[in-house]
Amino acid sequence: MVRAGYFVKQALSHLGRSPAVATVTIATVAVVFLFLGLFAVARHNLTMWTEQLGNNLQLSVFLEDDCDPACQDLIRAQLAAQPELSQIQFVGREQALDSFRERLGPEAVILEELGETPLPASFEAALAPGSRRPEVITPLVQQIVNLAGVEEVQYGQDWLERFFAFARTTNLLGLIIGSLIVLASMVIVSNTIRLSVFARREEIHILKMMGATDRFIKAPFYIEGVLIGLTGSAVGTGLIWFLFALLIPQWVFPGLLSQSHIAVSFLPRSQLYLMVAGGGILGCLGTYFSLGRHLKI
């Protein structure tokens, strides 16, 4: 315990000897984690919006005009046998017309001139949580279209495919940029530790001559790197929260499918703690690579 206190004291002493370098390094790490956090917030909300999209996503299975009740029962049974589908509901032609009349509002008077309703009967089916992906929906739709009595299946396929393609591209871009940011953070901490090693090279040489072990000499440097990483990541995370609280309430987002607005949320606490802890881990790794290259002991 006494030795641990000595190591912490030495690490703080190292930082105190070069306050300008320490401040610039911590500020740089904070900016790095600020950008990393912004990507994390964007990815978190993109995932949330994708789930929201899935909750509102459903298949509309339109039936042919000559599909009688026996045909409808057969199609319902075939749809119910699909594990990807749930909450299957039949919508008759008159019910579909009434729903369409509601959506038109005052302009529904134009429907009075129609004789027989032109809208076909249909089945509305929700998609199970694990089936809300284009690679699952596309073959399922093709299978349903081939059923006897089914005329067409709609689920907003063009828009959905573009949305999921955008989500995949964004995730990949976030992964690449996030990796580069993490690497940059490690390099920054590593260079700071390298400067500290260079400044203390004579002291290190004396300690070695006095019989100090490798662990004894390296420990303060590791603590210094962890302190820099933790402080920088904590400041960067705080800046993200401040910007989120300042800017997000001023933004208005369009609706998602039937939703009138999109809720934008901040990162959960578990991810915030992970980001701050990640700063300490990156500081430790940066110190490891720096000592391996510049402290041959």
* Residue 256 confidence (pLDDT) above 70: no
Q: Which is higher by pLDDT, 51 or 171?
A: 171
- What angle is formed at CA 276 by the lines to CA 272 and CA 278, rounded to 5 degrees? 110
**How far apart (Å, rounded) are the C-alpha atoms in residues 90 and 69?**
11
How far apart (Å, rounded) are the C-alpha atoms in residues 2 and 216?
A: 13
Residue 21, Cβ neighbours under 10 Å: how many?
Answer: 15
Alpha carbons 148 and 292: distance in angstroms, whole number: 70
Higher confidence at residue 256 or residue 161?
A: 161
| H and E: helices and strands count for the chain | 9, 4
Answer yes or no: CATH 3.30.360.10 is held by domain 58-154: no
Give yes or no for residue 255 having a pLDDT over 50. no
pLDDT at 282: 83
Q: Which amino acid is at 42?
A: A
Of 43, 92, 85, nearest to 69 by C-alpha is 92
At 173-194, the pLDDT tens digits run: 878 877 887 787 778 777 777 7
pLDDT at 235: 92
pLDDT (average), residues 54-61:
76
Task: Provide the percentage of residues in the chain whose pLDDT is more than 70.
Answer: 76
221-245 pLDDT, tens digit each: 888 888 888 998 899 889 988 888 8
Residue ranges of the chain that CATH labels 3.30.70.3040: 58-154
The per-residue pLDDT for range 71-104, each reduced to its tens digit, is 988 989 998 888 888 888 888 877 766 665 565 5
Contact 212, 200 (CB under 8 A): no
Residue 135, pLDDT score: 77
| Distance separating alpha carbons of residues 295 and 205, to the nearest angstrom | 11
| Cβ-contact 105, 154 below 8 angstroms | no
Q: pLDDT, tens digit, for every residue of 122-160?
A: 888 888 776 777 778 888 888 888 888 888 888 877 777
- Distance, in Å, from the CA atom of 72 to the CA atom of 90, rounded to the nearest integer, reads 9
> 24-48 pLDDT, tens per residue?
888 888 888 888 888 888 888 877 7
d(CA 219, CA 6): 10
- Record the tokens describing residue 89, joined without a space: 């509901």
